[in-house]
Amino acid sequence: MPAGRFKSSGGVSIVNAIGSGGYGGAAGISLWLEAEAREDAGVYGGESRWPGGSGPLPEPLVERIARAAARIAGRSLEGLWIEVKSEIPPGRGLKSSAALLTASLGAALDLLKASIPREVLAVEAARLSLPLRLSATGAIDDHAASVIDAPVVTMNPRFLIERQLPRAGCSYRVVIAYTSEVNPIHALEKTPFEALRRLYSAAASLALRGEWINAMTVNGLATAAVYGLDSLALRAVKLGAAAAGVTGKGPAFFSVTWRDSVDDVVGLLEDNGFSSVLVSRFRWCVDDQAA
């Protein structure tokens, strides 16, 4: 049976769109998600596997993906089954939902032999996220970062990718730390983020100027403050992190760290109660063997 395939990635935040009131920003990292799609007449479903768990894909999600793919391709799709294999811990602010939507829609389009620019794929997937209640803002930043090999800054209410930012950062490693705690979108409380709007707006201004690592620093510290982890973020910076804090809606902690400081930062996070610590890279750096 013919199959379509597509690969996306997780990411970390540059600008939190809930906090800023509109602008968002994110950078993809080398935690990968692969989707495989097959036509299955009269059936809309699938299975997703992620670190430490698995579960079915909801029928409404798969049916919306199928309808979107059929519309874009100009072809009929009478049913769809999607298999997902993910390295991204879900519910931690690491863009797992965005990665799932972009890869699943990309795989369905591949099944239909349809090709669209990755920027368009990101917008189409982001538009699906709101009725499916997989994002609070449409999260075009997260969807774009999951498929584009560059950091992005976006205007989320308009589903607009404002800029693709300089592809720097290949001398860094991105340390990700998390516990069993999750923060699902249906339980998200926006008020603590909105209370720090001045900081998130400052991060947006930096990102729009292309200073995305500095923006990530301000944004990460602001979201760390929401979780009471701002002092930990500052300790990571003192150990050599270029940026540190909490990503997305949380609660995962990230640190963009020079290679020579990785072990020190990993030790700091393990000593502060994080049961799982991963070391990744920015997604556009994975073929850079010299860095």
Residue 43 falls inside a structural domain: yes
How far apart (Å, rounded) are the C-alpha atoms in residues 255 and 250? Answer: 13
Residue 128 falls inside a structural domain: yes
Residue 36 falls inside a structural domain: yes
Q: pTM value?
A: 0.95
**Are residue 148 and residue 184 in the same domain, yes or no?**
no
Average pLDDT over residues 181-210: 93
How far apart (Å, rounded) are the C-alpha atoms in residues 243 and 215? Answer: 9
Tens-place pLDDT, residues 23-51: 999 999 999 999 999 999 999 999 999 99
Res 290 pLDDT > 70: no
- Which of 141, 164, 187 terminates a domain? The answer is 164
Domain containing residue 241: 172-285
More confident residue, 93 or 184: 93
**Are residue 64 and residue 191 in the same domain, yes or no?**
no
**Are residue 159 and residue 195 in the same domain, yes or no?**
no
**Are residue 143 and residue 176 in the same domain, yes or no?**
no
Neighbours of 42 (CB within 10 A): 6
Domain of 183: which CATH number? 3.30.70.890
The whole-number pLDDT of residue 289 equals: 42
Number of domains in the chain: 2
Q: What is the 3-state secondary structure (H, E, C) of 7-38?
A: EEEEEEEEECHHHHCCEEEEEEEEEEEEEEEE
Tens-place pLDDT, residues 214-257: 999 999 999 999 999 999 999 999 999 999 999 999 999 999 99
**Are residue 71 and residue 94 in the same domain, yes or no?**
yes
For the stretch 237-241, contacts whose Cβ atoms lie closer than 8 Å and that sit 24 or more positions apart, written own/partner, are 239/264, 239/265, 239/268, 240/264, 240/265, 241/265
**Are residue 53 and residue 128 in the same domain, yes or no?**
yes
The whole-number pLDDT of residue 184 equals: 82
The whole-number pLDDT of residue 88 equals: 98
Q: How far is CA 69 from CA 75, 98, 130, 172, 246, in A?
A: 8, 16, 17, 37, 34
**Are residue 108 and residue 8 in the same domain, yes or no?**
yes
Res 75 pLDDT > 70: yes
The whole-number pLDDT of residue 102 equals: 98
CA atoms within 13 A on the CB side of 139: 33
**Are residue 134 and residue 270 in the same domain, yes or no?**
no
Q: Are 153 and 163 in contact (CB under 8 A)?
A: yes
Residue 290 falls inside a structural domain: no
Tokens 């990700």 belong to 176
How far apart (Å, rounded) are the C-alpha atoms in residues 90 and 69? Answer: 24
